[in-house]
Structure 1
Amino acid sequence: MTSMSWVVLGVFVLTYLGMAAGGVRGLRMDRSWIAGAAAVLLLFIGAQTPAEAASHLDAGALLLLLALMLVSAQFEFSGVYAWLNGRLESYATQPARLLAAVVVLGGVLSAVLVNDIVAFALTPLLCHSLLARGLDPRPFLLALALACNAGSAASLIGNPQNILIGQAGGLDFWGYTAIAAVPAIGALLITYLVILWQWRHRWGTAHSVTTEAAQPAQVYGARSYLKPAVATLVLLGLFASDLPREWSALMIAVLLMVSRRVASRDYVQAVDWNLLLLFAGLFVVTGAAMALPPVAGIAAQLADRGLLPQGVLSLAAASLVAGNLIGNVPFVMLLLGVLPEMSPSLLVGLAVMSTLAGNLLLIGSVVNLIVAESARRQGVRLGFVDFARSGVPVTLLSMSLAGGWLVLGGWLPW
């Protein structure tokens, strides 16, 4: 290899080591900054031309993610999240029913919206309401995080890695859901049962509060909720057509941004640009490394020898280890780079397994970190041990169920 090829390979390795570290020690620099800085470095030293870097970007995946974030923002601006939180309030005196409602709500919303946005919107509302009632928010926040991950496995728009997998493989939207819905629903049920068993006598007793104290955000009328609901139904219908998913989502997002109440800049500010930077940076760095002939040759040899994930067990093991080490988005991007010709069945298995594996540890998914950080700002500490105590059994049981389903259905071998 040339000296420049070694530099590209070195940047690639250091980038994924940064993904494993979660940032730069001693500095407030996260995974997104590392990926973006690495891409800029490759451009600066001439290892990649702007045209080459642009060729590595999956514009469809980036645009679809952007559009879905804008659609998700409409639910918050319309007061839908606050209204739903108000409905959860009615179960406060029956914590077991409240727990079930949180699991169902988090799971269903995350199947049709980006789960990061759902977790970001609902966590502070839940914390406010539960603290006002005198209930321990931790089991319900655990349920929210685990349910958001589990529910998002049911669709190709539920989380960032599934968006990437669906775009990369051209998977059929509803065909995927027909396979993934069973393990996703099973994971939601497992989440409820595990947390109920662990926390049933530890979440406290709810007491009554005034309506003003229980409601942390404005709730608008039913006409306001109609706009995001109709938009979501139309969007799901468009996903069944032959139109590119990113164009359908962008058109719905643009129409939603026509508003008398919400300024367009507020929609723009609701976008998680940090996540988009992570995607773009990893596209460039991974694409540059995989374009090197020696790296491509090594990847092909590993695939030929069966040393890369091909079945349920190897896919589950890789998802658990790599997903919780470098993050599920970087893991998926890396695997797509070394196995560019994955079969549709393997892509389905990757989407399901990489998503469910994110429930293992607090660091396994961006959703988990969003819930923990947002709860901390509300005065609630959701620690690593608290999360692992529920996350480990939920993940192992969920992935076992998913693996059995994929094998029995004939989609993947063991």
Structure 2
Amino acid sequence: MTAALVVFGATYLAIAAGRVPYLSLDRPSAALLGAVLMVAAGVLTPAQAGAAVNGDTLGLLLGMMMLAAYLTEAGFFRWASWKVVTSVRTPRALLWGLVLAAGGLSAFLVNDTVCLMMTPLVLRIVDDAELPPIPFLLAVAFGSNAGSVATLTGNPQNMIVGTLSGISYARFAAALALPAAASLVAVALLLERMFRAELPRRPLAAAGRLARPALDGPLLAKALGATALVLAGFLAGLPLAWTALAGAALCTAVGGRAPREALMRVDWPLLVFFAGLFVVVAGVGRSGAADRMHEGIAPLLGAGAARQTVVFSLFSVAASQVVSNVPFVLLAGHWIPRMAEPALLWLATALASTLAGNLTVVGSVANLIVLELAGDRGRIGFWRFLRYGSAVTAVTLAISLGILLGERALGWTG
């Protein structure tokens, strides 16, 4: 157990820090090194380590990233962003449009891609209209995080919840679509209130000067068709990973361009990160250390399902800031099956670990993508972001948990 705890602790510390002094380690390579050390220390055999890697999660993530890559190649995300910013007439309407568009797209496609594609056009419109960039950049980041709560394919941690819990796509969406929608409205209202002094009431004339992005019509039709078939398969209860991979394979076959272009857009380091973490967490579980951790937090959780849901959700928010949401959800997978209502706790964990991304700058990859793309225009200090993020996280979490527990009382989550 000692070896497993040392490897686990060192790996999660490296993940939390993002880098290791004197070593060229980032989060994916730290997870990979941790996996190798679990085998080298004898905690797991090579066969056990290989079996620990959850192919369903990796396949689902790969398939969805490839679908998003083909939609990107076709110009879909740029066109959708252009449509939003040219359809509104005031800065306040733009704020609402960005929150709802980022959230809506992130409900079905991985939210990191949505932020990557929307941010450049948002910067153009705020520059042309001489608007402060921060409210609109936060609208994209906060909106994408909140909207991605709605489905199993909205973000990586939801995918892990889906594969570990066995909750179907339709059941997950039925339970969390309403909390996600309410969170989006809350995000827009809060941003409008927090930045009311910086949002002029004059018309947004600059939007009309934006040129319509080019669309590859044939590729767009094929990519949208494949995505629609994949979503239909999800709702029909087909295996998530193979359904997503089938859609990706269809795009490579009929896309009319070299698959290498789409493959280059896949976030391969993220897949390495996941694979390494599966092995590290499996080592902790096999050693019995995960059981000891659960014994430590169990008294705080209490016995009732409602209390466990609220307390564990708060714990999820805090832990997601320390080690990030994906590593936390993987570790939580050892604890949740022992709780009063595992299905409810899985849903609450997905919800809380995702909304936790809005708390700090480093709370989610979506935040980092938006602010890094913005450069100096998106410069916002840790404490200023925390001031906005804490309000957004507290309100959306309270609303979402209230709705989720209300659905439980009505029997909708069972």
TM-score, length basis structure 1: 0.90
Name 1:123's counterpart in structure 2: 119
Quote the Cα distance in structure 2 between the aligned partners of 1:386 and 1:226: 42
1:406 aligns with 2:404: yes
Quote the Cα distance in structure 2 between the aligned partners of 1:327 and 1:38: 16
1:320 aligns with 2:317: yes
1:350 aligns with 2:349: yes
Q: Pick which of 22-31 and 350-359 moved more.
A: 22-31
> Which among 323, 330, 353 is matched to residue 327 of structure 2?
330
Name 2:251's counterpart in structure 1: 256
Q: Is the 8 A contact 1:299 1:339 kept in 2?
A: no
Superposition pairs of residues 14-413 of structure 1, within 5 angstroms: 14-25=10-21, 29-91=25-87, 93-203=89-199, 208=206, 211=209, 214-215=210-211, 218-220=213-215, 222-259=217-254, 262-293=257-288, 295-299=289-293, 301-302=295-296, 305=299, 307=301, 311-341=308-338, 343-376=342-375, 379-410=377-408
Quote the Cα distance in structure 2 between the aligned partners of 1:409 and 1:85: 33
Give the 3 Å change call, closer, same or farther, for CA 130–308 of structure 1 in structure 2.
farther
Give the 3 Å change call, closer, same or farther, for CA 27–105 of structure 1 in structure 2.
farther
Can you give the 5+ residue segments of structure 1 that lack an aligned partner in the other structure? none
Give the 3 Å change call, closer, same or farther, for CA 252–297 of structure 1 in structure 2.
closer
Quote the Cα distance in structure 2 between the aligned partners of 1:320 and 1:42: 28
CA deviation digits over 1:317-363, x for unaligned, max 9?
11221011111111111111344456212111111111112211111
Give the 3 Å change call, closer, same or farther, for CA 98–45 of structure 1 in structure 2.
same
Q: Is the 8 A contact 2:170 2:237 kept in 1?
A: no
Can you give the 5+ residue segments of structure 2 that lack an aligned partner in the other structure? none
Q: Is the 8 A contact 2:142 2:187 kept in 1?
A: yes
Give the 3 Å change call, closer, same or farther, for CA 360–308 of structure 1 in structure 2.
farther
Give the 3 Å change call, closer, same or farther, for CA 119–308 of structure 1 in structure 2.
farther
Once the two structures are TM-superposed, the CA of residue 263 in structure 1 deviates from its matched residue by 1.9
Quote the Cα distance in structure 2 between the aligned partners of 1:116 and 1:282: 20
Once the two structures are TM-superposed, the CA of residue 307 in structure 1 deviates from its matched residue by 4.5
Give the 3 Å change call, closer, same or farther, for CA 122–61 of structure 1 in structure 2.
same
Q: Is the 8 A contact 2:126 2:133 kept in 1?
A: yes
Q: Is the 8 A contact 2:219 2:256 kept in 1?
A: no
For the residue of structure 2 that corresponds to 1:405, the secondary structure is helix
How many residues are aligned here? 404
Give the 3 Å change call, closer, same or farther, for CA 26–384 of structure 1 in structure 2.
farther
Quote the Cα distance in structure 2 between the aligned partners of 1:186 and 1:210: 30
Quote the Cα distance in structure 1 between the aligned partners of 2:130 and 2:265: 31
Quote the Cα distance in structure 2 between the aligned partners of 1:132 and 1:320: 37
Once the two structures are TM-superposed, the CA of residue 81 in structure 1 deviates from its matched residue by 1.2
| Equivalent position amino acid for 1:387 in 2 | F
| Equivalent position amino acid for 1:319 in 2 | S
Quote the Cα distance in structure 2 between the aligned partners of 1:209 and 1:8: 56
Quote the Cα distance in structure 2 between the aligned partners of 1:91 and 1:138: 21
Q: Is the 8 A contact 1:80 1:219 kept in 2?
A: no
Q: Pick which of 45-54 and 157-166 moved more.
A: 45-54
Once the two structures are TM-superposed, the CA of residue 130 in structure 1 deviates from its matched residue by 2.5
Quote the Cα distance in structure 1 between the aligned partners of 2:38 and 2:121: 42
Once the two structures are TM-superposed, the CA of residue 179 in structure 1 deviates from its matched residue by 1.3
Give the 3 Å change call, closer, same or farther, for CA 260–237 of structure 1 in structure 2.
closer
Q: Is the 8 A contact 1:134 1:207 kept in 2?
A: no
Once the two structures are TM-superposed, the CA of residue 398 in structure 1 deviates from its matched residue by 0.6
Name 2:4's counterpart in structure 1: 8
Quote the Cα distance in structure 1 between the aligned partners of 2:166 and 2:140: 30
Q: Is the 8 A contact 1:119 1:370 kept in 2?
A: yes
Quote the Cα distance in structure 2 between the aligned partners of 1:260 and 1:396: 44
Give the 3 Å change call, closer, same or farther, for CA 225–386 of structure 1 in structure 2.
farther
For the residue of structure 2 that corresponds to 1:127, the secondary structure is helix
Once the two structures are TM-superposed, the CA of residue 304 in structure 1 deviates from its matched residue by 6.1
Q: Is the 8 A contact 2:32 2:273 kept in 1?
A: yes
Give the 3 Å change call, closer, same or farther, for CA 44–265 of structure 1 in structure 2.
farther
| Equivalent position amino acid for 1:199 in 2 | F
